[in-house]
A = this chain, B = another copy of it.
């Protein structure tokens, strides 16, 4: 008497992806409730089971659904927002400001639904996520019917969904309590990375993960810089550092692992950590190529991920499988490394193990959930079909199949796509909503891009407005007399010595003014550099006015500490012109007729333009400015400079005039 089942899938090339790589040329899979009951030749299973429904797969390939081992699904709403930029410009200049402005529960929910639709279409049945408002990710994913490990992000900084890391930890615990035990959703705790966490955060995250026996999803050794910083700050590479803080006691999902050595691989393997390899993202952000074949040799469970749609720019696991196989060869010089079969294993069974769902999904084996897909290998771009080795089918899938060849997707015994039609998500309804977000983000960015000032604000530097100032500047033929006169005839409040390296950015719109990146070396009495300061100054739109005697009422200035590199600002602000000036500055703060003046004696070294004397004084009114302008002229005379001496302008103009 045949056993009653819900569904019998027949007439498929069945790739079980089990440990023995069992495959059936005319194979079948028996599904009962949410699980696989049997896999074998069609004829055999047709005799054994009495199915409520039978599906003739028409010779398509039936294989386990793909596992996307690392992603940030809501970022689908940010796909293509900013590309071909350096990591810091991309992250600090675009992603974070936009996320600060737009990421809320609605954004996360919509982005997740869009991503689920894309994942289903491309044959993914399970993914491991890390983002904000992860409860929304869980809800949208469960509605779409996909399987996921959803990790609530925890950072030491304020994030879109948590003002403090305590809030984030508490959100993670709420998430875990709410979803633990759900048939599709596995909640997780996701400290973003060791370098964005404090020791307390790491300890609390591990405690949560162990208390509730849930995975801990984090970024590990994505860039060489991260490893270098870890050596500098912790005296060791990343994996020993996280081990020291107890992270490996949890079920870790370690995303990236681009820069780990063999000892670190062995440590991760020993503690059962899974690795998520993200080949496109690692190339696109120029992080490098992860040592995947070495990791596999160590026995590590290495899965494959797409990362978020803003560093990929899609969630296509077929592309990632192919790239994994290709990079394995290209990076080792050995074309037998990471054969197609291995790449497909990473995207299925090994990926499931990497995200700690190896008992549930990743292969077609009795007892596992029915997470499976059908792939049509008959299209032109995948013909003809050779049978000369049992491996041919794997190379066809990895090297020639496209995600668009996936026709049917089932998760947990439920069809999510049949003959390329999505059954749980209404794409037509989502796309206009996505486009509406894009328009709002475009407007936000274009407003920001309108002025250098708003771009300066956007990257979060604390920008202050300085008072206006009166300024007079003359070229001086001899320095010695001035050096004598100042202490003799003026009350010196302080005297300083700097060596200054200034880079001026100019922009298409002259109204923008100049943005100056200044490196100030403080020179002490012994002539040594005692301190260095980096400052960014927006020398704002020209509101200058000339006074009699070529005294200048200076323009407005906005100051910020320059916490990023010159290179960052160059790529972020994208100036049309750049001018470099190196000068040696002697600076005095003096009292002249009971008024504070600043005297700068500047020797321009690069370009070599001689020495200039600057007299400056802060002012708050036009009348006061006029008064101080007259005093500045008098002070010039006191310093031995003839009032007829031709006054000059900003150094950047002097340099440009000389160029």
Which residues of chain B are within 8 angstroms of A510 by Cβ–Cβ distance?
none
Q: Which of B121, B313, B340 contacts A395 (CB 8 A)?
A: B313
Is A511 on the interface with B (CB-CB < 8 A)?
A: no
Let me know if A81 and B283 touch, CB within 8 A: no
Let me know if B83 and A286 touch, CB within 8 A: no
Is A79 on the interface with B (CB-CB < 8 A)?
A: yes
Let me know if B383 and A435 touch, CB within 8 A: yes
Is A388 on the interface with B (CB-CB < 8 A)?
A: yes
Let me know if A86 and B435 touch, CB within 8 A: no
What CA separation (Å) do A330 and B290 show in the bound complex? 11
Let me know if B386 and A438 touch, CB within 8 A: yes
Which residues of chain B are within 8 angstroms of A313 by Cβ–Cβ distance?
395-396, 399-400
Is A117 on the interface with B (CB-CB < 8 A)?
A: yes
Let me know if A285 and B385 touch, CB within 8 A: no
Let me know if A442 and B381 touch, CB within 8 A: no
Which residues of chain B are within 8 angstroms of A391 by Cβ–Cβ distance?
83-84
Let me know if B571 and A386 touch, CB within 8 A: no
Is A114 on the interface with B (CB-CB < 8 A)?
A: yes
Q: State which residues 381-411 of A face B: CB under 8 Å.
A: 381-388, 391-392, 395-396, 399-400, 402-404
What CA separation (Å) do A82 and B340 show in the bound complex? 11
Let me know if B329 and A384 touch, CB within 8 A: no
Given A79-B400, A80-B400, is A435 in contact with B330 using a C-beta cutoff of 8 Å? Answer: no
Is A284 on the interface with B (CB-CB < 8 A)?
A: yes
Which residues of chain B are within 8 angstroms of A441 by Cβ–Cβ distance?
386, 388
Per-position binary interface string of chain A over residues 268-283, scored 1 when its CB falls under 8 Å from any chain B CB and 0 otherwise: 0000000000001011
Which residues of chain B are within 8 angstroms of A327 by Cβ–Cβ distance?
283
Let me know if A83 and B431 touch, CB within 8 A: no
Let me know if B121 and A386 touch, CB within 8 A: no
- As for how many copies of this chain the complex holds, the number is 2
Is A122 on the interface with B (CB-CB < 8 A)?
A: yes
Is A446 on the interface with B (CB-CB < 8 A)?
A: yes
Task: Give the nearest-CB partner of A378 in chain B.
Answer: B431
**Interface hit among A232-240, A243-251, A314-322:** A314-322
Let me know if A314 and B84 touch, CB within 8 A: no
**Interface hit among A200-208, A331-339, A350-358, A501-509:** A331-339
Given A388-B81, A399-B83, A442-B388, is A434 in contact with B330 using a C-beta cutoff of 8 Å? Answer: no
Which residues of chain B are within 8 angstroms of A117 by Cβ–Cβ distance?
380
Q: Which of B121, B286, B388, B400 contacts A334 (CB 8 A)?
A: B286
What CA separation (Å) do A384 and B118 show in the bound complex? 12
Given A80-B386, A399-B83, A445-B388, is A285 in contact with B329 using a C-beta cutoff of 8 Å? Answer: yes
Which residues of chain B are within 8 angstroms of A121 by Cβ–Cβ distance?
380-381
Let me know if A332 and B395 touch, CB within 8 A: no
What CA separation (Å) do A43 and B286 show in the bound complex? 42
Task: Give the nearest-CB partner of A326 in chain B.
Answer: B283
Which residues of chain B are within 8 angstroms of A442 by Cβ–Cβ distance?
386-388
Let me know if A434 and B399 touch, CB within 8 A: no
Is A449 on the interface with B (CB-CB < 8 A)?
A: yes
Given A313-B400, A399-B314, is A80 in contact with B438 using a C-beta cutoff of 8 Å? Answer: no
What CA separation (Å) do A80 and B377 show in the bound complex? 12
What CA separation (Å) do A150 and B323 show in the bound complex? 30
Which residues of chain B are within 8 angstroms of A334 by Cβ–Cβ distance?
86, 286
Let me know if A435 and B385 touch, CB within 8 A: yes
What CA separation (Å) do A284 and B122 show in the bound complex? 23
A118, A286, A323, A435 pick with most chain B CB within 10 angstroms? A286
Task: Give the nearest-CB partner of A435 in chain B.
Answer: B384
Let me know if A392 and B80 touch, CB within 8 A: yes
Let me know if A431 and B80 touch, CB within 8 A: no
What CA separation (Å) do A400 and B75 show in the bound complex? 14
What CA separation (Å) do A286 and B427 show in the bound complex? 40
Let me know if A118 and B381 touch, CB within 8 A: yes
Q: Which of B79, B87, B285, B381 contacts A122 (CB 8 A)?
A: B381
Task: Give the nearest-CB partner of A422 in chain B.
Answer: B380
Let me know if A86 and B387 touch, CB within 8 A: no
Is A85 on the interface with B (CB-CB < 8 A)?
A: yes
Which residues of chain B are within 8 angstroms of A329 by Cβ–Cβ distance?
283-286
Chain B nearest CB, measured from A366 CB (Å): 29
Is A541 on the interface with B (CB-CB < 8 A)?
A: no
Is A312 on the interface with B (CB-CB < 8 A)?
A: yes
Let me know if A438 and B384 touch, CB within 8 A: yes
Let me know if A288 and B333 touch, CB within 8 A: yes
Which residues of chain B are within 8 angstroms of A402 by Cβ–Cβ distance?
316, 402-404
Per-position binary interface string of chain A over residues 120-142, scored 1 when its CB falls under 8 Å from any chain B CB and 0 otherwise: 01100000000000000000000
Is A289 on the interface with B (CB-CB < 8 A)?
A: yes
What CA separation (Å) do A336 and B85 show in the bound complex? 5
Let me know if B340 and A385 touch, CB within 8 A: no
Chain B nearest CB, measured from A632 CB (Å): 45
A-B contact pairs, 19 of them (CB 8 A): A80-B386, A81-B386, A81-B388, A83-B395, A84-B325, A84-B340, A84-B391, A121-B380, A286-B335, A289-B330, A315-B381, A319-B319, A381-B403, A387-B442, A388-B442, A388-B445, A388-B446, A402-B402, A404-B404
Residues of A within 8 A of B (CB): 77, 79-87, 90, 114, 117-118, 121-122, 280, 282-286, 288-289, 312-316, 319, 322-323, 325-327, 329-330, 332-337, 339-340, 378, 380-388, 391-392, 395-396, 399-400, 402-404, 427, 431, 434-435, 437-438, 441-442, 445-446, 449, 571
Assuming A114-B380, A380-B427, A383-B435, what are 18 further A-B pairs, CB within 8 angstroms? A80-B382, A80-B392, A80-B395, A84-B335, A87-B335, A283-B330, A284-B399, A286-B333, A286-B334, A286-B337, A313-B395, A314-B381, A314-B382, A319-B319, A336-B571, A384-B431, A388-B441, A388-B445
The 10 residue pairs across chains A and B that have the minimum distance between CB atoms:
A384-B438, A283-B330, A84-B339, A313-B399, A283-B326, A83-B395, A286-B335, A384-B434, A286-B329, A388-B445
